[in-house]
Structure 1
Amino acid sequence: MAATVAEQVALKEAKPDEYVSLHSPSKMGNAGIMAYGGCTMGTAVNGACQSVQAHYYLYSALGYYLGPSSTDRKVFCTVHRVRDTRTFATRRVEISQRQDDGTKRPCFLLLADFQVKEPPMLRFSAPPSRQYPDVDNCPTWDSVREALVSEHGLTKRRVDAHKAVFDLMGRFWDQRQCPEGVFAQNLMGIAKEIRTIQDKLSITEKVSADWVRSKHTLVTKAEQLSALAFVMDCALSFVPLAYSHQFLEDAGACSSLDFALRVFLSEIDLNNWHLREMKTITGDEGRTYSESRLWNRKGRMVASMTQQSILRLPKGVKATL
């Protein structure tokens, strides 16, 4: 079991541009032996970063989940060098797992673009959608859970469910919950009967936010970017459920299909606190589209991730619009 997020996405070179993960991907926010997609995504980003020179910086990573990865075996990472110029580098990365019959099954496909750092002609970024307290005035998940138990009578069973489902984040990341957010008020949808201060808003106006930083020191640029992919993926697929007083058990299927990670600054340090805000944008025909944005303490937007996810009705349930 990996002890840090850097270990979780670490790779060992088997031969040029081919790697194997040091650890099997871990589970979070899903059932059975299906792994958390952020593990696969972070591993793929790490593989892409290994293949470029240090003066190239990741600015775009577009990917597709081809199938779930399993937690009982390591992943293989194959890097294809698509483009190398004085300014840009492009990599196509395939993640696969070896099956019991010896064949490799593709799990994930990534297209990563890198650029040499350039001076800005313009410098601007959108702020968060609302004003949030500084990290020192935001509670931990333990404090949030204790408050929900004492103020709303939340049962130990559901508190323990939240701890278990999101244990991986707790192992790798320090988090502080912005109390105005939906996630902080209904425990990411687990406490679905609790009304939030955003209930009067439409689902596309609702937001959740938290402060995050790595619990363990990230050293290299590849570790920073891999960790960024890992944390930005967290919870996006079920934001629409939590914002509509539902959780994973209410859906027939809920998981990420594809994503676009945009990185706006070349220097990223997730050893320091960053503010992350999540919202959902649209949902129809069994899919949803949501976004997570990240700012540093100076208010500069560091990254954005959009995701389209599957959201299926349980069998035998009719749609309500």
Structure 2
Amino acid sequence: MSTQTPDLTRWLHDLLQVEAVEENYFRGMATPQGRGRSFGGQVIGQALMSAIKTVGEDRPVHSLHAYFMRPGDATKPVLYHVERDRDGRSFATRRVIAVQSGKPILNLAASFHDREVGLSQQADMPDVVGPEGLENQVQLGERYADQLPEAYLNWLRLPRPIELRPVELRPPFNREPRAPVQHVWMRVHGDLGDQHSMHRAALSYVSDFGLLGTAVLPWAKTFIDPDMQFASLDHAVWFHDDFRMDEWQLYAMDSPWTGGARGFNRGQIFSRDGRLVASTAQEGLVRQVTPKD
């Protein structure tokens, strides 16, 4: 993996960049070698970068809220239209519509805030083991290869710029039902540079990994199960502090409610030194279906 790290990091960096095509219009690239549906985190990350292009680096994003409306096509680029709703003395707000084939696939609202000094408190970081010694998803896939579908193994083996090391074994590696709580160490391979906006876009990208699955841990279900249908419906991120996504971050997730074919999930992201750097929330479709023959 080490020989691939610079290429993988550049892949993610380039994927999250957007090109200005007209005032307030930006184009995000298609997923290289992509197929099927677009990854939701990619569309969110590109939409956020489009909004950032109209604000600047000196006023960092502090929150985003996105709704997924239609599945995206990973083989096609995405057009992003940014509405500059407000530029105030300390806050700015933007709305972004992601369009593919003439139809909106995502709406995103983002708020930006000047850096200020103020009162400070935070939740405690969970007391879990560190990433050292834990297996990543690729290594887990090889260890449990005889229990996993070949298509899923091939998906795990694809080179990725993000490394995920679960603290607890989750489906499909462990099929024991358990409480809807999980912890995952995550980082980008290689040096992602020093722009705060790129690290926030990268966190937005990776924050969609695994969050929805928290809602179905009590049933030990996962997205590869033929009797389940999963889809993200909305996604929110609040950025609390600066961080580097090319350093280890702990993603602590829980799901307080599942019902009516939907699951609600929350996440807290902590740096290695215990700072709460971001929070997330997502509701998604977790529908039981009849498997196709």
| 8 Å Cα contact 1:88/1:114 also seen in 2 | yes
2:251 aligned residue: 276
| 8 Å Cα contact 2:94/2:109 also seen in 1 | yes
**Structure 1 166/77 Cα, relative in aligned 2: closer, same or farther at 3 Å?**
farther
1:259 aligned residue: 235
**Structure 1 268/26 Cα, relative in aligned 2: closer, same or farther at 3 Å?**
farther
Aligned mate of 1:297, from 262, 272, 286:
272
Query: Structure 2 counterpart of 1:139, which letter?
Result: E
Query: Structure 1 counterpart of 2:236, which letter?
Result: A
Partners of 2:45 and 2:165 in 1: CA distance: 22
2:172 aligned residue: 190
Query: Structure 1 counterpart of 2:14, which letter?
Result: E
**Structure 1 166/304 Cα, relative in aligned 2: closer, same or farther at 3 Å?**
farther
| 8 Å Cα contact 1:258/1:309 also seen in 2 | yes
Query: Structure 2 counterpart of 1:171, which letter?
Result: R
1:223 aligned residue: 198
Query: Structure 1 counterpart of 2:103, which letter?
Result: R
The alignment partner of 1:269 has SS state of: coil
| 8 Å Cα contact 2:86/2:93 also seen in 1 | yes
| 8 Å Cα contact 1:42/1:226 also seen in 2 | yes
Q: Is 1:177 paired with 2:151? A: no
Aligned mate of 2:134, from 135, 138, 153:
138
1:319 aligned residue: none
Instruction: Report the identity percentage.
Output: 21
Give per-residue Cα distances to partners, 1:156-192, cap 9 Å, x unaligned.
Answer: x43x444434556x511123332xx242xxxxx2246
| 8 Å Cα contact 1:277/1:293 also seen in 2 | yes
Partners of 1:26 and 1:38 in 2: CA distance: 17
Give per-residue Cα distances to partners, 1:94-119, cap 9 Å, x unaligned.
Answer: 10112xxxxx1100000000100111
Q: What is the aligned-residue RMSD (CA, Å)?
A: 2.5
The alignment partner of 2:94 has SS state of: strand
Query: Structure 1 counterpart of 2:116, which letter?
Result: E
The alignment partner of 1:68 has SS state of: coil
2:69 aligned residue: 66
- 1:98-177 correspondence to structure 2 within 5 Å: 98=101, 104-121=102-119, 123-129=120-126, 131-148=127-144, 154-155=146-147, 157-158=148-149, 160-166=150-156, 171-177=160-166
Aligned residues: 283
**Structure 1 147/252 Cα, relative in aligned 2: closer, same or farther at 3 Å?**
closer
Partners of 1:9 and 1:26 in 2: CA distance: 15
- Unpaired runs of 5+ residues, structure 1, are 99-103, 184-188, 317-321
2:4 aligned residue: none
- Unpaired runs of 5+ residues, structure 2, are 1-6
Partners of 1:70 and 1:44 in 2: CA distance: 15
Q: Is 1:11 paired with 2:11? A: no
| 8 Å Cα contact 2:30/2:74 also seen in 1 | no
The alignment partner of 2:41 has SS state of: helix
| 8 Å Cα contact 1:19/1:47 also seen in 2 | yes
Partners of 2:160 and 2:32 in 1: CA distance: 14
Query: Structure 1 counterpart of 2:40, which letter?
Result: G
Partners of 2:210 and 2:129 in 1: CA distance: 21
Query: Structure 1 counterpart of 2:172, which letter?
Result: I
Partners of 1:175 and 1:253 in 2: CA distance: 23
Alpha-carbon deviation of 1:307?
0.4
> What TM-score do the two structures reach when normalised by structure 2?
0.87
